Amino acid sequence: MRKLLLNKLRESLFSVIPITAIVLFLHFTIAPMPTYSIFLFLIGSILLIVGMAFFTLGADISMMVMGEKIGSHLTSSRKLPLIIVVTFIIGVFITIAEPDLKVLARQTPAVPDMTLIIAVAIGVGIFLVVSFLRILFQIKFSYILIGLYLIVFILAAFTHENFLAVAFDSGGVTTGPITVPFIMALGLGLSLVRGDKTAEEDSFGLVALCSVGPIMTVLILGMFYDSSSGSYTAISSPVMNSFWEVIHSFMKHTPDYLKEVLIALLPIILFFILFQIFALHLKKRQLIKISVGLIYTFIGLVLFLTGVNVGFMPVGYLLGGQIADSPYQWILIPLGMVIGYFIVAAEPAVHVLKQQVEDITDGGISAKSMGLSLSIGVAASVGLAMLRVVTGLSIWYLIIPGYAIALTLSFFVPSLFTTIAFDSGGVASGPMTATFLLPFAMGATEAIGGNILTDAFGIVAMVAMTPLITIQCLGFIYQIKSKRESLAEAVPFIEDVILVYKDEPATMPLNNSTFLLYNEDDSKENNLSSEQEDNKWKSNNKTAKF
């Protein structure tokens, strides 16, 4: 266990160092920030590294196992009413507990926080049921996606513009560090029971469909609430005058995140306990391992959320405002691309997804290629989001073409890549996006004098959209390479061959296309020594003896 933890710490360190280095570089060059704000950020980075290591290790040995066991049992039961009720309840409770959703709810105008949270949770619950039914009845994933997004864009046409970006953002933040490992493991457990040739690809796609539910519910809420009756909650950048105030800020907020994470994990633990008592009956050793993993998950999430909310959120807001208010305003776009490229590596759920994809595909899709594709996608999305901040471009001009391209690609790439791509969109837009990139965009928008609700919001939606295209492009390349390799193996190049039996006189000289067939008796009759035999065939290195 200690060795595994050290490996996770190493992975986390290399994930967080790039974004930390970028912020420090900007501080010492074009966007100087108060000294104690930088200390706040550096301590947040340390908590981020340690928290991510504990979380990913805990998720591997507890959350993934629990979800897989529950998913397998539900499928084995073959009781459709039980499957529908249980999956709906799981979807609702784990969404209500998702920390990222609370961050978004506080920023959404007009709609009361709890109303938004419950509506989104119901949306996730319904679409988790839809996901399970799709897998059970083996309905093609791309057909469902096209139908659902058609409904989404019809609803969007009748919703106020101020709710549009928030709605698409809600689809991204809902699938956060609590939701993703458990939901993905449910799909894996279901596929293990089925065991047919399409089960592998069907184990993915649950996160993707669960991301659609929140978009629909917020769009519907937008039809009944007046966006002008409320406003977003402005982010305050705390003024620190001593190192003690920096430490005190973390100590003050840590109990809040202890409570938040405990509430988040409790429904999943209770569900597992009920399944253990009435159905699973796992051995004591397995239960101890899962319990240790839950402790690691709890510690990791508390440290991670404290680091990003206390250390990263105010610094992201301050940094965005500083750059937008400087003569280098144009640099927001390329800078956003660089930050996006590296920040996705710090998302805890991304590590879970990459490892599961590599395991399920037996290395056919490596974690490294997945990570690279996600980084490229998020870099493009943050660059486009910064373009919106600078120019005030409507999100319509990016969302509609983006999803049109993604859905079109689903007909030309292997189904496995489509399901992974749409899952990765939800996974990439996690707490790092909600607590660093969104405040960064809000700070820049305020400095420029733009509309926060239409220009800054939508960055999470962009981060969730572009991986759909880049991962499917990876699948397209993979498909072409696989076809070429299959053709090379199935139809090897062979020259014209002439078979000459040694007991028959050859009518033509031996060349590179001649194979001589002889038997051991012939060799004995001619009393040829091994040296003579070698000399005889040395002149033609393509001659085969049978």
pLDDT of 188 above 80: no
Same domain, 23 and 101: yes
Tell me, yes or no, whether 49 lies in a domain.
yes
Same domain, 407 and 508: no
Q: What is the mean pLDDT of residues 417-422?
A: 88
Q: Which of 151-155, 344-348, 356-360, 447-451 has the highest mean pLDDT?
A: 151-155
pLDDT of 201 above 60: yes
Number of domains in the chain: 2
Q: Would you state the pLDDT for residue 275?
A: 87
Domain encompassing residue 255: 2-229+240-490
pLDDT of 546 above 50: no
- The Cβ-side half-sphere exposure at 336, using a 13 Å CA radius, reads 32
- With 0-12 / 13-18 / 19 or more C-beta atoms within 10 angstroms meaning exposed / middle / buried, residue 265 is buried
Q: Would you state the pLDDT for residue 542?
A: 39
Considering only residues 533 and 315, tell me which one the structure prediction assigns the higher pLDDT. Answer: 315
Identify the residue whose tokens are 């990876």: 474
Same domain, 7 and 33: yes
Q: Would you state the pLDDT for residue 227?
A: 61
In 3D space, the residue among 19, 136, 143 whose CA is nearest the CA of residue 87 turns out to be: 136
Given a contact cutoff of 8 angstroms between Cβ atoms, the answer to whether 180 and 456 are in contact is: no
Q: Would you state the pLDDT for residue 221?
A: 85
Tell me, yes or no, whether 188 lies in a domain.
yes
Same domain, 147 and 167: yes
Q: Please report which confidence band the pLDDT of residue 233 belongs to, taking 50, 70 and 90 as the band edges.
A: low
Q: Would you state the pLDDT for residue 231?
A: 55
Tell me, yes or no, whether 546 lies in a domain.
no
Same domain, 183 and 110: yes
Amino acid at 538: K
Q: What is the mean pLDDT of residues 452-478?
A: 87
Phi, psi at 517, each rounded to 5°: -105, 130
Among 114-128, 225-239, 257-271, which stretch is predicted with the lowest mean pLDDT?
225-239
Given a contact cutoff of 8 angstroms between Cβ atoms, the answer to whether 210 and 174 are in contact is: yes
In 3D space, the residue among 121, 116, 67 whose CA is nearest the CA of residue 98 turns out to be: 121
| DSSP string for 282-327 | --HHHHHHHHHHHHHHHHHHHHHHHIIIIIIHHHHHHHHHHHHTST
Q: Would you state the pLDDT for residue 25?
A: 92
Q: Would you state the pLDDT for residue 194?
A: 65
Among 87-96, 210-219, 452-461, 494-503, which stretch is predicted with the lowest mean pLDDT?
494-503
Q: Please report which confidence band the pLDDT of residue 181 belongs to, taking 50, 70 and 90 as the band edges.
A: confident
Same domain, 412 and 530: no
Considering only residues 541 and 185, tell me which one the structure prediction assigns the higher pLDDT. Answer: 185
Q: Would you state the pLDDT for residue 544?
A: 36
Q: Would you state the pLDDT for residue 508?
A: 47
Q: What is the mean pLDDT of residues 46-52?
A: 91
Q: Would you state the pLDDT for residue 96?
A: 80
Q: Would you state the pLDDT for residue 234?
A: 59
Angle formed at CA 220 by CA 215 and CA 224, multiple of 5 degrees: 140
Same domain, 225 and 117: yes
Q: What is the mean pLDDT of residues 5-18?
A: 86
Q: Would you state the pLDDT for residue 133?
A: 86
Instruction: Indicate the pTM of the whole model.
Output: 0.76
Angle formed at CA 422 by CA 416 and CA 423, multiple of 5 degrees: 85
- Out of 490, 507, 526, a domain closes at 490
Chain centroid offset of residue 473 CA: 16
Same domain, 466 and 520: no
Mention every residue, 6+ apart, whose C-beta is less than 8 A from residue 265: 97, 178, 294, 297, 298, 301
Q: Which of 191-195, 368-372, 531-535 has the highest mean pLDDT?
A: 368-372
Distance CA 201, CA 361 (A): 9
Tell me, yes or no, whether 434 lies in a domain.
yes
For every residue of 64-85, which 3-state class applies, written as one string? Answer: HHHHHHHHHHHHHHCCHHHHHH
Distance CA 144, CA 139 (A): 8
Same domain, 202 and 141: yes
Q: Would you state the pLDDT for residue 517?
A: 43
End-to-end C-alpha distance for the chain, whole angstroms: 55
pLDDT of 505 above 60: no
Q: Please report which confidence band the pLDDT of residue 7 belongs to, taking 50, 70 and 90 as the band edges.
A: confident
The tens digit of pLDDT for each residue in 315-373 reads 889 999 989 988 878 899 999 999 999 988 888 778 777 877 787 777 777 888 888 98
Q: Please report which confidence band the pLDDT of residue 150 belongs to, taking 50, 70 and 90 as the band edges.
A: very high
Q: What is the mean pLDDT of residues 234-260?
A: 83
Tell me, yes or no, whether 235 lies in a domain.
no
Chain centroid offset of residue 456 CA: 22
- With 0-12 / 13-18 / 19 or more C-beta atoms within 10 angstroms meaning exposed / middle / buried, residue 385 is buried
Mean pLDDT of the chain: 81
| Secondary structure letter of residue 363 according to DSSP | T
The tens digit of pLDDT for each residue in 390-406 reads 998 988 899 999 999 99
Phi, psi at 109, each rounded to 5°: -75, 155
- Out of 468, 490, 512, a domain closes at 490
Q: Which two tokens stand for residue 26?
A: 């900007």
Same domain, 357 and 504: no
Tell me, yes or no, whether 543 lies in a domain.
no
Q: Please report which confidence band the pLDDT of residue 534 belongs to, taking 50, 70 and 90 as the band edges.
A: very low
Helix (H, G, I), strand (E, B) or coil at 366: coil
Q: What is the mean pLDDT of residues 410-435?
A: 84
For every residue of 220-253, which 3-state class applies, written as one string? Answer: HHHHHCCHHHCCCCCCCCCCCCCHHHHHHHHHHH
Considering only residues 303 and 488, tell me which one the structure prediction assigns the higher pLDDT. Answer: 303
Q: Please report which confidence band the pLDDT of residue 232 belongs to, taking 50, 70 and 90 as the band edges.
A: low
Q: Would you state the pLDDT for residue 235?
A: 64
Among 199-203, 282-286, 294-298, 426-430, which stretch is predicted with the lowest mean pLDDT?
199-203
Distance CA 214, CA 232 (A): 19
Distance CA 126, CA 243 (A): 48
Q: Would you state the pLDDT for residue 298?
A: 93
In 3D space, the residue among 87, 215, 518 whose CA is nearest the CA of residue 537 turns out to be: 518
Distance CA 45, CA 307 (A): 6
Q: Would you state the pLDDT for residue 529?
A: 47
Q: What is the mean pLDDT of residues 72-92?
A: 85
Q: Would you state the pLDDT for residue 503?
A: 52
Tell me, yes or no, whether 545 lies in a domain.
no
Q: Would you state the pLDDT for residue 514?
A: 43
Same domain, 405 and 532: no
Distance CA 115, CA 119 (A): 6
Mention every residue, 6+ apart, whose C-beta is less than 8 A from residue 145: 208, 407, 410, 418, 422
Q: Would you state the pLDDT for residue 135?
A: 81
Same domain, 512 and 384: no
- Out of 473, 490, 507, a domain closes at 490
Q: What residues are paired with 501 via a beta bridge?
A: 517
Distance CA 195, CA 212 (A): 27
